[in-house]
Amino acid sequence: MKTKYLLAGALGALLASSAAHALDAKPYFIDKSYWGPTIRPATDVSLDMNGLTAPIINSASPVFIQWEGISQYDGARFARNFIPPDTIGAVGMTQYFEATNGAYAIYNKSTGALQSMVSDVAWWASVGKTGANGDTRVMYNADAKRWIVMSFAASVANLQIAISDTDDAMGGWKTTQFTGFAGGTADYPTLALDKNAVYIGTNNFNASGNFRGTTLNVIPIDSLFNNSTPTVTNMKQFTTAYPATTIDKGFAQQGVNSSSAGSTGHVVAASLFWEDNVAFDVNGLTSSDATGATVPAGDATYLNMDPFVFAGNARQPNPLPAPIGSIYARTVTTGDERISSSAYEVGGRIYMVNTVNSDGDGLDYAQVRYTIIDANTKAIIDQGNIGDATHDYWEGAIAVNALGQVVITYNRSGSETTDANGDGLADGNISVMAQVFKTSAAGKLVKVGSEMLLKVSPTSTYHNGSVDGAPPAGRQRWGDYAQVSVDPGTNHGFYLIGEFAREPNNAANGHPGGTGGTRWGTWIAGLNVGSVPEPASWAMMITGFGFIGGAMRRQRKSVATA
CB 479 within 8 A of CB 87: yes
How far is it, in rounded angstroms, from Cα 183 to Cα 155?
Answer: 9
Residue-level pLDDT, tens digit, the chain, 562 residues: 333 333 333 333 333 333 344 588 998 898 776 665 555 544 555 656 445 567 888 777 799 999 999 999 998 889 898 889 999 999 999 999 999 999 999 999 999 999 999 999 999 999 999 999 999 999 999 999 999 999 999 999 999 999 999 999 999 999 999 999 999 999 999 999 999 999 999 999 999 999 999 999 999 999 999 999 999 999 999 999 999 778 999 999 999 999 988 888 999 999 999 999 999 999 999 999 999 999 999 999 999 999 999 999 999 997 666 666 666 678 899 999 999 899 999 999 999 999 999 987 778 999 999 999 999 999 999 999 999 999 999 999 999 999 999 999 999 999 999 999 999 999 999 999 999 999 999 999 999 999 999 999 999 888 876 788 777 777 788 989 999 999 999 999 999 999 999 988 888 888 887 878 889 999 999 999 996 654 434 443 433 444 333 333 333 222 222 2
Question: Residue 371 to residues 195, 317, 349, 378: CA-CA distances in angstroms?
Answer: 23, 31, 10, 11
Strands 56-57, 301-302: pairing kind: unpaired
Please tell me the pTM assigned to this model. Answer: 0.90
pLDDT of residue 53: 65
How far is it, in rounded angstroms, from Cα 159 to Cα 152?
Answer: 5
pLDDT of residue 556: 28
Q: 99: how many CB neighbours lie within 10 A of its CB?
A: 30
CA gyration radius for the chain? 22
How far is it, in rounded angstroms, from Cα 345 to Cα 403?
Answer: 12
How far is it, in rounded angstroms, from Cα 122 to Cα 294?
Answer: 38
Question: Residue 342 to residues 191, 221, 275, 431, 483: CA-CA distances in angstroms?
Answer: 8, 18, 20, 21, 7
Mention the CATH class of domain 2-551: mainly beta
How far is it, in rounded angstroms, from Cα 71 to Cα 559?
Answer: 14
pLDDT of residue 8: 38
pLDDT of residue 10: 37
pLDDT of residue 77: 86
pLDDT of residue 549: 39
How far is it, in rounded angstroms, from Cα 356 to Cα 459?
Answer: 25
